[in-house]
């Protein structure tokens, strides 16, 4: 009855081909359209021009990518820590959960467009407001995922733990926490895609440097090619972070791959 | 020596009486089954014993320590994220035994449970029968004095169930664990038990107590006339409870 863990690398490459093809053909169509229609590069620059600008302005772009990355990582680290800590507190104290959960939901209804300028106003042009905004945006999906994940624990496993004489803490560590991991990774993947965008938006509202500032300046000087160059970088950042979480998930949830291939 | 006795144990959920003055006892080394219609409250008795449910009225007394039960739930309840070996040592880990010592305790038993080659597998990689054997071993290694088995073979297909019952009878004859089995399978109860308690419909009362003095092994060969007789009697008693007697 032995079912070996399948190797997935080759399979994954083959599966990726349609996605790569569709992305490439979208760019090709765009390039052809720009060349055939003769549209002004001030309206719509061709992908080749965007690429050219990325190479030409690589120092500027890199210098401004670093602060965005810093804000993203610091904000994400903060929201991850807080989400984990809070989720554990909420799991052990249902009353606190009922008291605080509405506040977290309300925090998600605040429009970023309105909140961002206020946060910048209160905390200045440095890293702090960006970190806070990234944390605000990414925190909730992870918290909800963790809290729901704990609740998803198989009641029979909990009965079993109780019959073994496990303490509340032991049950949490051995049963509830591992049960929540698939949920957590679902939340993490959603959060990570918001993180870079939130950092750029926070910069857009007020900062000294960052991709948001590049976009703002390029827009004001009618340079859609540079706007798009910054957009490409922001997309790439998000993709890399997304891939990193997928890789982490694969390692942590190895047992699920096994299950998926029954 | 009496290992466990329940005296006048009653349970109500809200207004609904579930157990009605249950009296039963299990002797040391004895195999006792609780047989009853579905939803009669058989599992409620186990929940009382494992402490999932607080005792309302009546007394439960058992020889020895406070926590003397090892419980095997209906479905195997193996943790899908733990390898088989780590599932087996779970109970010992909860007792505070270091992982290395726990593995050393489980090691010698792996062979007779047919799990020696599968310790590093995840539960999802094993067949239903093997998972059930793993769940049983996880129960046994806890070293408790009484094994509580809640329909351990109920989720298996008919063929695997028969194989598992035969295998289990062998294991039990060798080890003589004091066992309390909950089941609604008459044949299983007769094949495995020294004594059988029959419960009524909810609220559950003990309506019959039957000795099964059939020599072992009973499985793996045609059932004796005596076994047929007991099965027929039990079936009739149960059918009366469900109101479908002819």
The whole-angstrom separation of Cα B140 and Cα B88 is 9
Does residue B69 surpass a pLDDT of 80?
A: yes
B148 touches chain A (CB under 8 A): yes
Mean pLDDT of B62-89: 86
Instruction: Kindly identify which residue of chain A lies nearest to residue B80, measuring between CA atoms.
Output: A255
Determine the pLDDT at residue A262.
44
Which chain A residues are closer than 8 Å to B130 by Cβ?
1
Please answer whether residues B79 and A160 qualify as being in contact, where contact means their C-beta atoms are separated by less than 8 angstroms. Answer: no
Residue by residue, pLDDT tens for chain A (262 residues) are 444 554 555 666 788 888 899 989 999 999 999 999 988 888 889 888 899 988 998 899 899 999 999 999 999 999 999 999 999 998 898 888 888 888 888 888 888 888 888 988 898 888 888 899 999 888 888 998 999 999 999 999 998 998 898 899 999 999 999 999 999 999 998 889 888 988 998 888 888 888 888 999 988 998 888 899 999 999 999 999 999 999 999 888 888 877 654 4
**Domain annotation covers residue A175:** yes
Q: Do A164 and B81 touch (CB under 8 A)?
A: no
Indicate whether A49 belongs to any domain.
yes
| Interface contact B124, partner A, CB < 8 A | yes
- Nearest residue of chain A to residue B84 (CA atoms): A255
Which residue from B74, B79, B142 is facing A164, i.e. has the nearest CB? B142
Residues of B in contact with A161 (CB under 8 A): 94
| CB burial string A107-117: b at 16+ within 10 A, e below | eeeeebeebbe
Question: Does residue B75 come out as left (phi exceeding 0), alpha (psi in the -120 to 50 range) or beta?
Answer: beta
* Contact criterion met (CB < 8 Å) for B81 and A181: yes
Q: CB distance from B152 to chain A under 8 Å?
A: no
Residues of A in contact with B118 (CB under 8 A): 1-2
Interchain proximity A159–B69, CB inside 8 Å: no
Quick check: B167 contacting A, CB < 8 Å? Answer: no
Which residues of chain A does B90 touch, with a Cβ-Cβ cutoff of 8 Å? 164, 174
Round the average pLDDT of chain B to a whole number and report it.
Answer: 87
In this predicted structure, the answer to whether residue B210 has a pLDDT above a threshold of 70 is yes
CATH number of A234's domain: 1.10.3720.10
Strand partners, A153: none
Contacts of B165 (CB under 8 A, 6+ apart): B153, B188, B191, B192, B219
Q: Do A159 and B75 touch (CB under 8 A)?
A: no
Q: Of the given ranges (A38-42, A58-62, B130-134, B238-242), which has the lowest mean pLDDT?
A: B238-242
Indicate yes or no: CB of B127 within 8 angstroms of CB of A165. no
Cα–Cα dist A127/A74, whole Å: 9
For A220, counting Cβ atoms within 10 Å of its Cβ (0-12 exposed, 13-18 middle, 19+ buried), the class is exposed
A136 within a domain of the structure (yes/no): yes
In this structure, which topology does domain B2-68+146-242 adopt according to CATH? Answer: Rossmann fold (3.40.50)
| pLDDT at B30 (0 to 100) | 93
* Cβ-Cβ contacts under 8 Å, B67 against chain A: 165
B126 close contact with A: CB closer than 8 A: yes
Enter the DSSP assignment of B108.
Answer: G
CA angle A40–A45–A46, rounded 5-degree value: 115
| β-strand pairing of B16-27 with B146-150 | unpaired
Instruction: Give dist(CA A231, CA A228) in Å, integer.
Output: 5
Mean pLDDT of B83-106: 92
Q: At what angle do helices B42-50 and A155-163 cross, to 10 degrees?
A: 50
Q: Other CB atoms closer than 10 Å to residue A122's CB: what's the count?
A: 10
Task: Tell me, yes or no, whether A71 lies in a domain.
Answer: yes
Between chains, do B122 and A181 touch, taking CB under 8 Å as contact? no
The partner residue sitting opposite A163, judged by closest CB among B50, B80, B125, is B50
Tell me whether residues A1 and B126 touch, CB distance under 8 A.
Answer: yes
Q: Bigger pLDDT: B147 or B241? A: B147
With contacts defined as CB-CB under 8 Å, which chain A residues touch B117? 2
The dihedral through the CA atoms of B115, B118, B121, B123 has a sign that is: negative
B130 at the A interface (CB within 8 A)?
yes
Does A162 reach chain B within 8 Å, measured CB to CB? yes
Beta-sheet pairing, B2-13 with B57-62: antiparallel
pLDDT recorded at residue B246: 47
How would you classify the pairing of strands B206-211 and B195-199?
Answer: antiparallel
With respect to residue A74, please indicate whether it lies within any of the assigned structural domains: yes
Tell me how crowded residue B123 is: count the other CB atoms within 10 A of its CB: 23
Q: Which residue has the tokens 């970023």?
A: A112
Give pLDDT, residue A1: 44
**Chain A residues touching B80 at Cβ < 8 A:** 255-256, 259
CB–CB of A162 and B126 under 8 A? no
Q: Where are the domains of chain B?
A: 2-68+146-242, 80-143
Task: Spell out the residues 6+ positions from residue A49 whose beta carbon is closer than 8 angstroms to its own.
Answer: A41, A225
Could you tell me if B238 and B37 are in contact, meaning their C-beta atoms sit under 8 angstroms apart? yes
Cis amide leading into A85 (omega within 30)? no
- pLDDT of amino acid B84: 93
Q: How far is CA B188 from CA A119, B44, B168, B195, B227, in A?
A: 69, 20, 11, 12, 11
- pLDDT at residue A7, as a whole number: 52
- Sign of the Cα torsion B216, B219, B224, B228 reads positive
Any domain includes A106:
yes
Nearest residue in A to B83, CA atom = A255
> Under DSSP, is residue B76 helix (H, G, I), strand (E, B) or coil?
coil
Domain membership of residue A77 as a residue range:
44-257
Q: Is residue A31 part of a domain?
A: no
Do residue B70 and residue A163 have CB atoms under 8 angstroms apart?
A: yes
* Residue A149 belongs to some domain of the structure: yes
Asked whether the beta carbons of residue B81 and residue A166 sit closer than 8 angstroms, the reply is: no
A 242-261 residues inside an 8 A Cβ radius of B? 253, 255-256, 258-259
Tell me if chain A has a CB within 8 Å of the CB of B94: yes
Q: Do B80 and A174 touch (CB under 8 A)?
A: no
pLDDT of residue A261: 47
A93 backbone φψ class: left, alpha, beta (φ>0; ψ -120 to 50): beta
A160–B77: do the CB atoms touch at under 8 Å? yes
Say what the alpha-carbon torsion angle A27, A29, A33, A36 is, to the nearest 10 degrees: 110
Query: b vs e for B139-150, b when ≥16 Cβ sit within 10 Å of the residue's Cβ?
Result: bbbbebbbbbbb
For residue A213, what are its two tokens? Answer: 């500032």
Query: Residue B178 corresponds to which tokens in the numbers above?
Result: 């004091």
Q: What percent of chain B has pLDDT over 90?
A: 27
- What's the confidence (pLDDT) of residue B67? 65
Cα distances from A260 to residues A49, A128, A164, in angstroms, run 44, 42, 30
**pLDDT computed for residue A2 by the predictor:** 46
Q: Domain tally for chain A?
A: 1
Residues 181-240 of B with CB under 8 A from A: none
Nearest chain B alpha carbon to A169: B94
**φ/ψ bin of B39: left (φ > 0), alpha (ψ from -120 to 50), beta (otherwise):** left
* Other Cβ atoms closer than 10 A to A4: 9
CA distances from A15 to A4, A35, A251, B146 (A): 21, 32, 20, 53
Tell me which residue in A166, A178, A262 faces B124 most closely, judged by beta carbons: A262
């Amino acid at each position: 009855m032995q079912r070996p863990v399948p190797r997935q690398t080759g399979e994954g490459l083959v599966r990726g081909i349609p996605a790569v093809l569709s992305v490439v053909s979208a760019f090709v169509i765009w390039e052809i359209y720009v060349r055939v229609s003769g549209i002004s590069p001030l309206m719509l620059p061709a992908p080749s021009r965007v690429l050219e600008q990325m190479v030409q302005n690589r120092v500027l772009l890199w210098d401004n990518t670093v602060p965005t990355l810093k804000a993203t990582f610091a904000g994400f680290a903060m929201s991850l820590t807080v989400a984990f800590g809070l989720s554990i507190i909420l799991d052990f104290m249902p009353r606190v959960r009922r008291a605080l959960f509405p506040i977290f939901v309300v925090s998600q209804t605040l429009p970023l467009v309105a909140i961002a300028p206020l946060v910048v106003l209160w905390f200045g042009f440095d890293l702090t407001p960006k970190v806070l905004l990234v944390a605000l945006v990414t925190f909730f999906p992870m918290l909800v995922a963790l809290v729901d994940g704990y609740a998803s624990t198989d009641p029979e496993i909990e009965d079993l733990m109780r019959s073994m004489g496990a303490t509340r803490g032991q049950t949490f560590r051995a049963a509830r926490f591992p049960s929540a991991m698939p949920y957590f990774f679902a939340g993490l993947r959603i959060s990570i895609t918001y993180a870079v965008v939130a950092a750029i938006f926070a910069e857009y509202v007020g900062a000294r440097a960052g991709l948001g500032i590049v976009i703002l300046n390029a827009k004001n000087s009618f340079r859609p090619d540079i706007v798009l160059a910054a957009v490409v970088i922001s997309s790439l950042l998000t993709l890399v972070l997304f891939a990193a979480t997928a890789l982490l998930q694969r390692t942590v949830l190895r047992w699920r791959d096994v299950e998926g291939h029954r | 020596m009496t290992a466990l006795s329940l005296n006048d144990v009653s349970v109500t959920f809200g207004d609904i009486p579930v157990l009605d003055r249950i009296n039963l006892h299990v002797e040391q080394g004895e195999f006792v089954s609780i047989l009853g219609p579905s939803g009669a409250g058989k599992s409620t008795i186990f929940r009382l014993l494992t402490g999932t449910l607080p005792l309302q009225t009546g007394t439960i007394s058992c020889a020895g320590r406070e926590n003397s039960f090892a419980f095997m739930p209906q479905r195997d309840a193996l943790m899908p994220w733990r390898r088989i070996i780590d599932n087996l040592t779970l109970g010992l880990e909860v007792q505070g035994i270091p992982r290395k010592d726990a593995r050393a305790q489980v090691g010698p038993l792996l062979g007779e449970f047919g799990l020696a080659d599968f310790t590093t597998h995840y539960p999802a990689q094993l067949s239903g029968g093997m998972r059930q054997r793993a769940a049983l071993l996880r129960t046994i290694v806890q070293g408790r004095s009484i094994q509580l088995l809640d329909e351990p073979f109920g989720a298996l297909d008919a063929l695997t169930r028969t194989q598992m019952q035969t295998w289990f009878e062998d294991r039990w004859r060798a080890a003589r664990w004091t066992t309390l089995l909950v089941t609604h399978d008459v044949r299983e109860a007769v094949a495995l038990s020294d004594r059988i308690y029959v419960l009524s419909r909810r609220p559950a009362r003990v309506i019959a107590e039957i000795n099964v003095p059939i020599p072992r092994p009973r499985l793996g060969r045609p059932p004796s006339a005596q076994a047929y007789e007991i099965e027929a009697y039990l079936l009739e008693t149960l059918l009366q409870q469900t109101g479908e007697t002819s």
